[in-house]
Amino acid sequence: MGTFEIEGGKRLKGELIPQGAKNEALQVLCAVLLTPEKVIIRKVPNIVDVNKLIDLLQDLGVKVEKLGPEDYSFQADDIDIEYLNSQTFKKKGASLRGSVMILGPLLARFGKGYIPKPGGDKIGRRRLDTHFLGFEKLGAEFVYNEKSKFYKVNAKNLQGTYMLLDEASVTGTANIIMAAVMANGETEIYNAACEPYIQQLCKMLNKMGAKIQGVGSNLLKITGVKNLGGCEHKILPDMIEIGSFIGLAAMTQSEITIKDVSYPDLGRIPSVFRSLGIKIELRGDDLFIPAQKSYEVQPFIDGSILTIADAPWPGFTPDLLSIILVVATQAKGSVLVHQKMFESRLFFVDKLIDMGAQIILCDPHRATVIGMDRKTPLRGIQMTSPDIRAGVSLLIAAMSAKGKSTIHNIEQIDRGYQNIDERLNALGASIKRIN
Ligand SMILES: CC(=O)N[C@H]1[C@@H](OP(=O)(O)OP(=O)(O)OC[C@H]2O[C@@H](n3ccc(=O)[nH]c3=O)[C@H](O)[C@@H]2O)O[C@H](CO)[C@@H](O)[C@@H]1O
Ligand SMILES: C=C(OP(=O)(O)O)C(=O)O
């Protein structure tokens, strides 16, 4: 289990370049399975989850070539579909969430797709119903082995149809889109997730020859085509990393410029951080966060306590609520953080409480944070990171705290943040990695 030792209280100064988005990378990497032609993907983040997926694709027979530090070419012209029955696949496929999105492309191209119960964060129930209900609607047969926790879908032909998703699942929508692009006839997906990463996937598939309309909306119309070809695609900057850096700057009173953020794709992220009183300036496509002594929560118009809640896009992403929560501990004013989508993502607040934060965990979904306006700094402690975003929130808390902190299980952080310690140390942080 890896560990970070953090000396708190350091102010950072300088520029951060966001990595390519983890959650987009996981989608578009799976999409390379849809064609025997070469697909070039740029700005691929060098993080554990993405590297695991690339490894899995290689095991399946995809030829992978590294063209540069962040650029790869993939060619799925000799897929070993039997690999899906191997023990290695059962182990590797289960080790990350994103692997579930190989199902749609494999079903579309080879008529079958298998997957062990996928991993990812333990942040509540993470059902896959939407994925399989969608595949079944397209005519696939679904078999779930409860004992081995292995999911199978098979189809001779996929037939386009209308479907209303039971929820706007992100990976579910990506999977169904990839299954539908080569189905017979027309598919309509209503209540589709529509976040920028789904839009990016659709744009990439359209470049490959797919016919997807309604991109960016929650009603997608897909006209099936016989084959898809190669293309070149560039991944967006990671909006969750950008949000994490905004929070980090505010908490540590640092002056940070976040480069090339693709501002129009950040949705409500800047405005939600602004509602905590954090100043964010847009300079070209960069975000400039000045060093701020104090930031004051903006209550609602009627004077009631600010509530920050998550919702499917274009709502505020659940992946940034843990960061909001930690940043609120040093704001001036109180905030109610309402995590509606996941039921176990707020439990890490016990660590923040140990550090001296004033938080009331009302129930698994809601926490009230009474901001301390830096009157009492958090104090360094020993802790273990429970999930990727809680892990980074604890890192931010530790960087702002008085004294030394230790965070164990940093593999969770490495899952989604590229060389976070080196990048932050270059700006003045003091984070030591102990393996
Ligand atoms: C690899 C990847 O891309 N992971 C992301 C993806 O996970 P993933 O695709 O697994 O998440 P889903 O969108 O399926 O669902 C996330 C949670 O929200 C709930 N839900 C979802 C839709 C809805 O309309 N109502 C609702 O309550 C689900 O029941 C579930 O508990 O999307 C999540 C939601 O943005 C993010 O946290 C994950 O980082
Ligand atoms: C929950 C997350 O990831 P995953 O879906 O891969 O577990 C996340 O990125 O915050």
Ordered by where they begin, the domains of the chain are: 3-19+237-434 (3.65.10.10), 22-234 (3.65.10.10)
Strand order in the sheet with 72-75: 63-66, 72-75, 38-42, 231-234
Report yes or no on whether pTM surpasses 0.90: yes
Bridge-based pairing state of the strands 382-384 and 404-408: parallel
pLDDT over 70 (residue 347): yes
ipTM of the complex: 0.99
- 346 CA to middle of ligand 2, Å? 14
Q: Are 1 and 391 in contact (CB under 8 A)?
A: no
Nearest CA to ligand 1 atom 12: 169
Average pLDDT for 308-335: 98
Is 97 annotated among the ligand-binding residues? yes
Average pLDDT for 47-65: 97
Structure confidence by residue, pLDDT tens digits, 265-293: 999 999 999 999 999 999 999 999 999 99
Bridge-based pairing state of the strands 211-213 and 219-223: antiparallel
Residue 161 contacts by C-beta under 8 Å, 6 or more apart in sequence?
A: 137, 138, 139, 185, 187, 188
- 120 CA to middle of ligand 2, Å? 6
Q: Is 118 in the pocket of ligand 1 (CB under 6 A)?
A: no
What pLDDT is recorded for position 121? Answer: 67
What pLDDT is recorded for position 124? Answer: 74
Q: Is the dihedral of CA 158, 203, 70, 38 positive or negative?
A: positive
Tell me the C-alpha distance between 320 and 247, whole Å.
9
Tell me whether the omega of the peptide bond preceding residue 270 falls within 30 degrees of 0, making it cis. no
Q: Kindly list the distances between the CA atom of residue 84 and the CA atoms of 111, 192, 223, in Å, as whole numbers in the listed order.
A: 13, 28, 29
Q: Is 172 in the pocket of ligand 1 (CB under 6 A)?
A: yes
- 376 CA to middle of ligand 2, Å? 32
> Which residues are registered as beta bridge partners of 368?
336, 360
Among the atoms of ligand 2, which is closest to the Cα of residue 119? Answer: 7
What pLDDT is recorded for position 120? Answer: 64
Among 289-293, 343-347, 354-358, 429-433, whose mean pLDDT is lowest?
Answer: 343-347
Q: Are 44 and 235 in contact (CB under 8 A)?
A: yes
Percent of the chain with pLDDT over 90: 93
Among 52-61, 121-130, 176-185, 425-434, whose mean pLDDT is lowest?
Answer: 121-130
Which ligand has the shortest distance to the CA of 322? 2
